[in-house]
A and B are shown apart, each in its own frame.
Chain A
Amino acid sequence: MSDVAKLLVGSAVERMEDARFLSGSGNFADDLAVEGMLHAAILRSPIAHARIVAIDASAALAMPGIHAVITARDISDTIPIIPLRLAPLPEFEPFRQPVIASDKVRYVGEPIAVVIADSRALAEDALERIGIEFEALSAVTERGASETPLFDFAEDNVALRYDAGFGDADAAFASADYVRTERFSVQRHTALPMETRGLLAEWNSSAGRLVVTGATKVTFYNRRALAQMLGLREDDIDLIEIDVGGGFGVRGEFYPEDFLIPFAARKVARPVKWIEDRREHLMAINHSRDIACELSLACRSDGMMLGLRGQVFADMGAYIRTNGGVVPAKAAQFLPGPYRIPHVSVSVEAFMTSKTPVGTYRGPGRFEANFFRERLIDMAATDLGIDIAEFRRKNLITEQELPYPIDGLVPYEGPTSYDTGDYVEVFERALKEIGWHEKRHLQGKLVDGVRHGIGLGCFVESGGAGPKENAALTLEKDGSLTVAVGSSVLGQGLETVLGQIASDTLSIPFDRIRVLHGSTTLLDEGFGTYHSRAVVMGGSAVLDAAIRLREKILQQASNHLGRPNSELKIINANVVADNGASVSFAALAAGCELQADGTFSNEVRTYSYGTHAAHVTVDPRTGAVKVLDYIAVEDVGRAINPAIVHGQAIGAIVQGLGGVFLDHLIYDDQGQLLNASLADYLVPTASDFPVLRAVTLELRPSPSNPLGAKGAGEGGIVAVAAATANAVAAALAPLNVEIHHLPLTPPRLWRLIKNAHARAITAA
């Protein structure tokens, strides 16, 4: 290893990104401006389900400053279809989304036409002058609620059903002392990154080349998809990643606009920029969650879990987009959680409705599954007269049982096992942090007009998806280092983390490192950022490249100094020989090209795990909940930058609390989205959840990668609904209120309290 004064990996170094963001010199999509640039605005369907009879764009086209109005007719006889990037189950193929509506619209917000104009304002003006004749059809807004098939080829609106599991759940249930079945649901909501989507597409007609700036997440995959749709070679398209104002799963998937804007730029032969406004963001970007579940648990009378049965019902919206069935599949896979349940049977039903299509949002399926299971555990423990902590302790998988196989729960995935960890120790740590033993007497107690509740939620969750990531490191002539990586940066601090890894390995000062990311121009291939994979995969690829570059530097120094490698040390960007002679990296780089490629291939997933605990009060007169204390304890294997990991955890907890109490995309029975503005779609603000804590542990490194890192960006959200809803339920238990459905808004809780009171009076 190189001689360095202090290793950066594992230390909370300040972020290299921050100076540019703090000074307002970041470079986001809407900051782009090029000579001759035109602006796009998109006409979106105002109704949920209809036939398009006619489109009349003549009045819009006649307006000054309007360059084009593009509809399906202008594109081709066969409208390109957005591919399934993940979970490519053949059943979903016919439900994929065309890049623009041609004969039918299936959700409010579906693109129908694109206006290209001198300014965004003029383009928006012209939208109002496009006449569309619709023949309205019945909207479908619930499972099985309508006879109307949304797709002509289909008999009903179910896109996919499957069964999965292991063991013999029927036998387990038949022999169990105790069985309880409940129905739960998590409402439709979305990630809501602060930056809306945006793209600048530039077509060079003489070269036949296209450059699209504003791409992110999975740029190489998206380039492949776009090349096929436009009939171009992949090499003739560059997808460029600049600063991205948050992703959380939704940003950077291939959306209709990722075709429409490049297509428009080629058609008008001018650069075209499109910036999504917040209203269209809420109706166009992937929605998520929206899962209902019927869950049954079979136990022995002593609380040992024997079997779990779950039926997952997922509202997929109007089309199956790139993420396929990931959300329901993961909801089903993570139903058993970190517990030893020998017999598990799950089923998934993915059904179509007249709503915006769904995709992944941070902790997809896990947020939901943990809520369903942890709620049912509290109910079962209470029925059996067992302390809720003791019930969990008894059933958590022990370290001796790891690796613990959970094969067979996802039909499109191979065998997989929970890898390493001490689930019980982390659980005990969370109990200690929340003060379980001191505070448990408060459960349900009325103190100063509010009822107290403490809730627990345990989880295990996967990260680090394969198959591969690539990196290329270059020692520049001035002795600085350029790191290029196929991972994408969506604001999570990845530049800093990768810089730390490279700095340690090469003994180059951190401030002499520049990290380039995501763009298809940097590498032959990259795999992007999702499933908490950027550090596990991208970080390992950077490490590999750094080790190779170090060997090249030492070899070059050996030639230069005339000393064998064994007598050389790297100290602060210099190579020093035992005899005192030295040469700087800059001098070495001036003499020859010093560059190294690195790669990391791995199909073994990491399994982060932990426990959340929440202490809340509920005001029974209003249904208002206050979070008094919240603790999330997670073992991430290894934290490259503890401050960044901590920031991920705290940020994720707050997003999760939004999902529990606030975030809710509300549709009426006509399929109209009722709250497509930030005045109506509520997310947490600075005054909502002031007391939150996160403890990041590095107990058991991941065996899958040389860094020992596990996914660390999603563990902060996945058990928030579980712990918080359990706390609210505990607070309201004396009032005979049970919690099954999110969000826990004051009106919902108030109604539950009122109804329970009415039932009690009737019974009396």
Chain B
Amino acid sequence: MTSARPVHFTVNGAAATVTVEPRTTLADALRNELRLTGTHLGCEHGVCGACTVIVDGAAVRGCLVLAAQAEGREITTVEGLGSAAHLSALQLAFRKHHALQCGFCTAGILTTAHALLTEEPHADEDRIREVISGNLCRCTGYLPIIAAIMEARIAYRDVQCEAAQ
């Protein structure tokens, strides 16, 4: 396996280059090459959603996309949403509502919710449930996750207003 080649993309606003084999997934490249280990792998076959990252604004399963497919793209991972010292409104709502327990699925749910609310800050509860039904969580029973996302919507509406002005 000596066919490693460079792939260039933007991660959380910074340019990045990884040199990986063609078979390397985007999730593995982010985790192993860039050490962005906030993105987790729960099934590696595209069902659990833990590895969800945002590629050009769309929530994407990092385990089903090859790193090479990310050439020239803009990627946002959980690390790009906010830091431990400066959590985003979405992250703060998760903490307030106890919307996480073990924290393993959390990154994928945050990125999924962030992509959703950025596009649809007025998404109703059914829509949020429908979208989050692509992410598995075994701890919370989902109720506090939905509550947190519902509450965080207001912050995304504000962002849209600012953008409009």
Residue ranges of A at the interface with B (Cβ–Cβ < 8 Å) = 12, 14-15, 17-28, 30-31, 33, 64-65, 121-122, 191-196, 243-246, 248, 277-278, 490-493, 643-644, 646-647, 650-655, 677-679, 683-690, 692
Give every chain B residue within 8 A of A14 (Cβ-Cβ): 95-96, 98
- Measured between alpha carbons, how far is A278 from B46 in the docked complex, in Å? 11
Known: A24-B107, A244-B102, A492-B101. A650 touches B140 (CB 8 A): yes
Report the minimum CB–CB distance from B28 to chain A (whole Å).
9
Report the minimum CB–CB distance from B88 to chain A (whole Å).
9
> Cβ of A22 and Cβ of B100 under 8 Å apart?
yes
Known: A18-B100, A22-B87. 18 other contacts (CB 8 A): A14-B96, A14-B98, A22-B106, A23-B79, A23-B82, A24-B78, A25-B79, A30-B40, A30-B41, A31-B37, A121-B1, A245-B40, A245-B42, A278-B44, A677-B43, A685-B132, A686-B129, A686-B146
> Cβ of B143 and Cβ of A650 under 8 Å apart?
yes
Q: Out of A20, A33, A195, A654, name the residue touching B42 (CB < 8 Å).
A: A195
| Chain A to chain B: the 5 pairs with minimum beta-carbon distance, closest first | A24-B38, A491-B102, A21-B103, A245-B104, A654-B141
- Measured between alpha carbons, how far is A12 from B135 in the docked complex, in Å? 26
Q: Mark B84-105, 1 if CB is under 8 A from A, else 0.
A: 1101000100111010111111
> Cβ of B136 and Cβ of A685 under 8 Å apart?
yes
15 intermolecular pairs with C-beta atoms under 8 Å apart? A15-B95, A22-B87, A22-B95, A23-B38, A23-B81, A24-B36, A26-B103, A33-B32, A245-B103, A644-B98, A647-B98, A651-B101, A651-B138, A677-B45, A684-B141
Give every chain B residue within 8 A of A678 (Cβ-Cβ): 42-43, 45, 47-48, 136
Determine whether B83 belongs to the interface, using a CB cutoff of 8 Å to chain A: yes
> Cβ of A24 and Cβ of B141 under 8 Å apart?
no
Determine whether B137 belongs to the interface, using a CB cutoff of 8 Å to chain A: yes
Residue ranges of B at the interface with A (Cβ–Cβ < 8 Å) = 1, 21, 23, 31-32, 35-45, 47-48, 50, 77-79, 81-85, 87, 91, 94-96, 98, 100-107, 110, 129-130, 132-146
- Measured between alpha carbons, how far is A493 from B81 in the docked complex, in Å? 23
> Cβ of B84 and Cβ of A277 under 8 Å apart?
no
> Cβ of A196 and Cβ of B42 under 8 Å apart?
yes
Interface of A is mostly: loop
- Measured between alpha carbons, how far is A316 from B85 in the docked complex, in Å? 48
Give every chain A residue within 8 A of B133 (Cβ-Cβ): 685-688
Known: A19-B87, A24-B78, A245-B104. A194 touches B140 (CB 8 A): no
> Cβ of B47 and Cβ of A193 under 8 Å apart?
no
- Measured between alpha carbons, how far is A100 from B61 in the docked complex, in Å? 35
> Cβ of B87 and Cβ of A243 under 8 Å apart?
no
- Measured between alpha carbons, how far is A31 from B37 in the docked complex, in Å? 6
A648's nearest neighbour on chain B, judged by CB, is B101
Give every chain A residue within 8 A of B105 (Cβ-Cβ): 194, 245
Report the minimum CB–CB distance from A247 to chain B (whole Å).
8
> Cβ of A651 and Cβ of B95 under 8 Å apart?
no
> Cβ of A15 and Cβ of B98 under 8 Å apart?
yes
Q: Out of A15, A26, A193, A687, name the residue touching B138 (CB < 8 Å).
A: A193
A243's nearest neighbour on chain B, judged by CB, is B103
Give every chain B residue within 8 A of A277 (Cβ-Cβ): 44
Known: A194-B104, A492-B101, A685-B133. A18 touches B42 (CB 8 A): no
> Cβ of A647 and Cβ of B42 under 8 Å apart?
no
Listed residue (B31, B42, B94) with the most chain A CB atoms within 10 angstroms of its CB: B42
Known: A491-B102, A655-B138. A24 touches B48 (CB 8 A): no
Q: Out of A15, A121, A194, name the residue touching B23 (CB < 8 Å).
A: A121
Give every chain B residue within 8 A of A654 (Cβ-Cβ): 141-142
Give every chain A residue within 8 A of B50 (Cβ-Cβ): 194
Q: Out of A19, A191, A195, A491, name the residue touching B84 (CB < 8 Å).
A: A19
- Measured between alpha carbons, how far is A22 from B41 in the docked complex, in Å? 16
> Cβ of B43 and Cβ of A683 under 8 Å apart?
no
Report the minimum CB–CB distance from A62 to chain B (whole Å).
15
> Cβ of B45 and Cβ of A679 under 8 Å apart?
yes
- Measured between alpha carbons, how far is A492 from B100 in the docked complex, in Å? 9
B47's nearest neighbour on chain A, judged by CB, is A678
Give every chain B residue within 8 A of A193 (Cβ-Cβ): 102, 104, 138
Q: Out of B45, B94, B132, B141, name the residue touching A22 (CB < 8 Å).
A: B94
Give every chain A residue within 8 A of B135 (Cβ-Cβ): 686
Q: Out of A20, A21, A27, A650, name the residue touching B141 (CB < 8 Å).
A: A650
Q: Out of A196, A655, A690, name the residue touching B129 (CB < 8 Å).
A: A690
Known: A24-B77, A31-B37, A278-B42. A683 touches B136 (CB 8 A): yes
Report the minimum CB–CB distance from B67 to chain A (whole Å).
13
> Cβ of A195 and Cβ of B141 under 8 Å apart?
no
Give every chain B residue within 8 A of A195 (Cβ-Cβ): 40, 42, 102, 104
- Measured between alpha carbons, how far is A560 from B139 in the docked complex, in Å? 48
Give every chain A residue within 8 A of B129 (Cβ-Cβ): 686-687, 690
Q: Out of A18, A65, A692, name the residue touching B94 (CB < 8 Å).
A: A18
> Cβ of B36 and Cβ of A18 under 8 Å apart?
no
- Measured between alpha carbons, how far is A196 from B104 in the docked complex, in Å? 10
Listed residue (B79, B132, B134, B137) with the most chain A CB atoms within 10 angstroms of its CB: B137
> Cβ of A22 and Cβ of B101 under 8 Å apart?
no
- Measured between alpha carbons, how far is A546 from B85 in the docked complex, in Å? 29
B42's nearest neighbour on chain A, judged by CB, is A194
- Measured between alpha carbons, how far is A194 from B82 in the docked complex, in Å? 23
> Cβ of A686 and Cβ of B91 under 8 Å apart?
no
> Cβ of B103 and Cβ of A491 under 8 Å apart?
yes
Listed residue (B21, B84, B87) with the most chain A CB atoms within 10 angstroms of its CB: B84
- Measured between alpha carbons, how far is A15 from B38 in the docked complex, in Å? 19
Listed residue (A21, A195, A244) with the most chain B CB atoms within 10 angstroms of its CB: A21
A641's nearest neighbour on chain B, judged by CB, is B98
Give every chain B residue within 8 A of A653 (Cβ-Cβ): 141
> Cβ of B40 and Cβ of A22 under 8 Å apart?
no
> Cβ of B138 and Cβ of A683 under 8 Å apart?
yes
Report the minimum CB–CB distance from B10 to chain A (whole Å).
17
Give every chain B residue within 8 A of A30 (Cβ-Cβ): 31, 37, 40-41
- Measured between alpha carbons, how far is A86 from B4 in the docked complex, in Å? 49
> Cβ of B141 and Cβ of A651 under 8 Å apart?
yes
- Measured between alpha carbons, how far is A282 from B101 in the docked complex, in Å? 22
- Measured between alpha carbons, how far is A192 from B43 in the docked complex, in Å? 11
Give every chain A residue within 8 A of B48 (Cβ-Cβ): 194, 278, 678
Give every chain A residue within 8 A of B79 (Cβ-Cβ): 23-25
- Measured between alpha carbons, how far is A440 from B146 in the docked complex, in Å? 31
- Measured between alpha carbons, how far is A193 from B47 in the docked complex, in Å? 14
B85's nearest neighbour on chain A, judged by CB, is A19
Listed residue (B87, B94, B100, B142) with the most chain A CB atoms within 10 angstroms of its CB: B142
A282's nearest neighbour on chain B, judged by CB, is B43
- Measured between alpha carbons, how far is A246 from B31 in the docked complex, in Å? 21
> Cβ of A692 and Cβ of B143 under 8 Å apart?
yes
B82's nearest neighbour on chain A, judged by CB, is A23
Known: A194-B42, A692-B143. A22 touches B110 (CB 8 A): yes
A24's nearest neighbour on chain B, judged by CB, is B38
Report the minimum CB–CB distance from B115 to chain A (whole Å).
15
- Measured between alpha carbons, how far is A385 from B113 in the docked complex, in Å? 51
Report the minimum CB–CB distance from B146 to chain A (whole Å).
6
- Measured between alpha carbons, how far is A687 from B1 in the docked complex, in Å? 43
Report the minimum CB–CB distance from B31 to chain A (whole Å).
7
Report the minimum CB–CB distance from B108 to chain A (whole Å).
9
Q: Out of A23, A278, A491, name the residue touching B83 (CB < 8 Å).
A: A23
- Measured between alpha carbons, how far is A586 from B148 in the docked complex, in Å? 38
B39's nearest neighbour on chain A, judged by CB, is A24
- Measured between alpha carbons, how far is A749 from B40 in the docked complex, in Å? 37
- Measured between alpha carbons, how far is A718 from B83 in the docked complex, in Å? 38
Report the minimum CB–CB distance from A313 to chain B (whole Å).
28
- Measured between alpha carbons, how far is A687 from B142 in the docked complex, in Å? 9
> Cβ of A26 and Cβ of B38 under 8 Å apart?
yes
- Measured between alpha carbons, how far is A246 from B137 in the docked complex, in Å? 10
- Measured between alpha carbons, how far is A196 from B48 in the docked complex, in Å? 12
Report the minimum CB–CB distance from A278 to chain B (whole Å).
4
- Measured between alpha carbons, how far is A647 from B99 in the docked complex, in Å? 8
A653's nearest neighbour on chain B, judged by CB, is B141
Give every chain B residue within 8 A of A26 (Cβ-Cβ): 38, 103-104
B80's nearest neighbour on chain A, judged by CB, is A24
B90's nearest neighbour on chain A, judged by CB, is A22
